[in-house]
A = this chain, B = another copy of it.
Amino acid sequence: MLTEFEHYLATQANLPNEAIRKISTLAMPRILRRNEFIFRAGEICRHKIFIVNGLLRTFNTTTAGNEHILQFSPELTWTLDVESYDRQIPSYVSIAAVEPSNILLWHKSTFNTLLTEIPAFKKLAEQLISRNIYHSRQRMLTILSGTPEEKYADFIRNYPGFLSRLPLRMIAAYLGISIKTLTRIRHTQLQR
């Protein structure tokens, strides 16, 4: 589990071996079963999370019980709720495993130490934030602009691998459309 992470780090940033060792030594490994939560809405996000393998989802549940998915996080990516983590306030989203997953956790204080001690790691962290911002923007446009067909097509294009790993209802919850609409789209596409 740690070797996968170390390999990821080595390919992503120009880090001395010693630094890589240190970062991974301080990680807390954890195994998640399907549907197991890392934290629930109302709790505070206390860790940075790296997904070694598996798939997580970040979502919000309305009082009416509807689920809206903000983000999927597959293997070799990071996740957390930024606002809750930064300010240590209760989160309004939950993060849970879609598939059985292996993850690594760092406590905020630990992670901050690493950031100050290892400049190249700080740089990597900043790059990840940037990518996240670009990505959110793009997603906002997609949600705003499209007909359901276009949203679905965008999803397939951007995340071709996810289709087979996710129940359709989660894709619908991600796209902001009803599952009925989604199956209708798929139905008409099959006929072509």
Given contacts A133-B133, A136-B133, contact A176 B68 (CB under 8 A): no
Given contacts A83-B137, A137-B136, A139-B140, contact A68 B145 (CB under 8 A): yes
Closest CB in chain B relative to A95 CB, distance in Å: 13
CA distance A129 to B83 in the complex (A): 12
In the assembled complex, A132 has its CB within 8 A of some CB on chain B:
yes
17 extra A-B contacts, CB within 8 A, seeds A68-B144, A145-B176: A60-B145, A62-B145, A66-B145, A68-B141, A70-B137, A70-B140, A70-B144, A82-B133, A83-B130, A83-B133, A83-B134, A86-B130, A133-B133, A133-B136, A139-B140, A140-B140, A140-B143
Are A60 and B136 touching (Cβ within 8 A)? no
| Interface SS of A by simple majority | helix
Closest CB in chain B relative to A35 CB, distance in Å: 21
Q: Which residues on B sit within 8 Å (CB–CB) of A136?
A: 133, 136-137, 140
Q: Which residues from chain A sit less than 8 Å from chain B, CB to CB?
A: 60, 62, 66, 68, 70, 82-83, 86, 92, 129-130, 132-134, 136-137, 139-141, 143-145, 176
CA distance A114 to B21 in the complex (A): 35
Q: Which residues on B sit within 8 Å (CB–CB) of A139?
A: 140
A133's partner among B60, B132, B176 (CB-CB below 8 A) is: B132
A143's partner among B86, B132, B134, B143 (CB-CB below 8 A) is: B143
CA distance A70 to B136 in the complex (A): 11
Are B140 and A82 touching (Cβ within 8 A)? no
CA distance A130 to B28 in the complex (A): 26
